[in-house]
Amino acid sequence: MTVLAPNMHPATPPTGIAAARARERLPEGELHVWVARVDDPEPGVTMLDRTERARAARFREARTGARWANAHVLTRQVLAHYTGTSPARLVIRAGRRDKPVIRRPRSARWLRFNLSHAGGLAMVVVARRAEVGIDIEAIRPLPDLLAVARRVLDDSVVRALSRVGPEESASRFFHAWVQHEARAKCLGTGLVEASDDARDPVCCFDLDVGPGYAAAVASTRPVDRIRRWHTTV
């Protein structure tokens, strides 16, 4: 499997032939991952629906609200890129087990996606007719790390964590955690029930997003290639 990281900007949704090309560029077996910084203090909220705007406005800290809004603007821009629909016209709703899905236009239902955001970064993964999950976490000290690991992660991961010092264990914990959460978000099984077993039917891959972060992506179908773009919102 290859991981490519070209630079491309989905700022304006393509229409007609351009949208068809974007669709063609996402064949079955590929995951496209879009990464963006979400620090812009003035997000393009006109792209968001009423519920999203209300949620963004509820954050006590303006910066957190702006990051949340930017992450959802990114999601809409990315989905618009593949569907040729304008970002504001996409209807996104909670589907099975609350996992967000595209409801309208109906012709865009082939496109599956998932969003994750942490600190100043957001990531959106899209795929053709495969369920996908993504998770990014900032690596940070966690006082009750082993207790959390015991509740959620596999025994083998917990044993490995208990053998290393605090700094290494934080990094290892978050790398194991993002794999676990990406699988959970992919299948909608919930964090406790999700398996860390590499033999289960979900394919899961680490994504390198730079120092200080751990990230992973998961898919219900075999993955031939992961392509990645760094963009702006």
Ligand X SMILES: CC(C)(COP(=O)(O)OP(=O)(O)OC[C@H]1O[C@@H](n2cnc3c(N)ncnc32)[C@H](O)[C@@H]1OP(=O)(O)O)[C@@H](O)C(=O)NCCC(=O)NCCS
Instruction: State the Cα–Cα distance between residues 226 and 31, nearest whole angstrom.
Output: 5
**3-class SS of residue 86:** coil
Nearer to ligand X, 81 or 185 (CB): 185
For helices 155-162 and 145-152, angle between their N-to-C axes, nearest 10 degrees = 160
H/E stretch holding 144? none
Min dist CB 207 to ligand X, Å, is 13
Nearer to ligand X, 30 or 135 (CB): 135
Q: Which residues bind ligand X (CB under 6 A)?
A: 68, 71, 97-100, 114-117, 133, 135, 181, 184-185, 188, 190-191
Min dist CB 100 to ligand X, Å, is 5
Instruction: State the Cα–Cα distance between residues 66 and 8, nearest whole angstrom.
Output: 23
Task: Name the DSSP letter for residue 1.
Answer: -
Residue with tokens 């029930």: 193
Nearer to ligand X, 134 or 157 (CB): 134
Residue with tokens 């099975």: 96
Nearer to ligand X, 26 or 182 (CB): 182
